[in-house]
Amino acid sequence: MENYWNKEIECMPREDMKKLQDERLVAQVKHVYENVPYYKKLMDEKGVTPDDIKSTDDLHKLPFLTKADLRDAYPYGLLAMPLSECVRIQSTSGTTGRRVVAFYTQHDVDLWEDCCARAITAAGGTKDDVCQVAYGYGLFTGGPGLNGGSHKVGCLTLPMSSGNTERQIQFMRDLNATILCCTPSYAAYIGETLKEMGLTPDDIKLKAGIFGAEPWTEEMRREIEKSLGIKAYDIYGLTETSGPGVAFECCEQSGMHINEDNFIAEIIDPDTGEVLPEGSKGELVFTSITKEAFPLLRYRTRDICVLSRKKCSCGRTLIKMTKPMGRSDDMLIIRGVNVFPSQIETVLLEQGYAPNYQIEVDRVNNSDTLDVYVEMNEEQFTDTVKGIQDKEKSLTAAIKQILGISPKVHLVSPKTIARSEGKAVRVIDKRKLHD
């Protein structure tokens, strides 16, 4: 029998959900227009007022928001509530310069945790379960979101954070953890470590895993399910809209249900901004209709996917999104961290290298690898082998400081990296992430 955290919402008839979204959108647009000067200016420039928005049918009239807007408005420019009403901030990972900082009132935190509780319940979680949260904590939304959702469900919560894998397995065994929450690549690594320790899935009590924050394939899902003896569920979210729990997978494992009482989803043509019909592949756009402190209207996620209202065997009527099929910008997600080629280029220029480089990303044994090939000039190339190795170590450290993850830097001889008369091929992503 399917489990629901809030059956009334999750199985709400479409016409009732539409009415709820209409009411919340109208109120949200008014709230944002009156309290966020940055967004009021965008609306005024487009000639739109709150009176023009009478239902979700008018959503297309509103301007888009992008990550650039969030950085331009940093830190308080998009804040819609008095700072005294805010109880938390979370921040994105892996960005340079001005980071994206999201604010939360207690109401916002409660709604976010409610969304995560739906995901845990859909994975079979109840108050009798032990939920091991091995996402990172701190500013990263993964740990705090699933931690709060686990508390709401009533699970015994193990706030492990990531790392120290043998200890993870020890706690998993000693406390009989039944649900694991982490990135899929870390789940795969836990499975490998379990085997290296001479243990099998029969030696642990896990029944389900909730994995997100990075791309993963159906092949990887099957490997994780086999190595840990579980059913693996996908979860989706962005710091900008709250964190994990914007959408979650059910028993059907054929896409993630979007929590439509909190978020309105659209698919647009990434080049023209035109709203595309259901079933079209395009860029995913979200509008937050319940957030108080940091409500984003028509936020462009840059994720490419498809939306579908095809009837789901789980009984939920919430619209589904596919796994993201790629990005409409050049951002890479490596080990759960957002990486832009321009970040690496900035480091190279600061260190005295010409912008002749190539980034190679792969997935080896279910773990992302990041290799950066950097071309030396003639003077640098005449250095000793040890001198070149020292330069590679120095560059590795500088890039790690910016990205938060370690690359493997390869200094190569002059004219090694192929030139192009067109757009330079800066990134080679060998991962088979999307079917």
| pLDDT tens per residue, range 366-381 | 889 999 999 998 888 8
pTM of this prediction?
0.84
Q: In terms of Cα–Cα distance, which of 53, 140, 118 is closest to 261? A: 118
Calculate mean pLDDT across residues 247-261.
Answer: 98
- Percent of the chain whose predicted confidence (pLDDT) is above 90: 78
Give the pLDDT band (50/70/90) at residue 421. Answer: very low
Calculate mean pLDDT across residues 80-100.
Answer: 82
pLDDT of res. 65 = 98
pLDDT of res. 434 = 60
Q: Is the pLDDT of residue 135 over 70?
A: yes
By the 8 A CB rule, do 232 and 220 touch?
no
Calculate mean pLDDT across residues 3-28.
Answer: 98
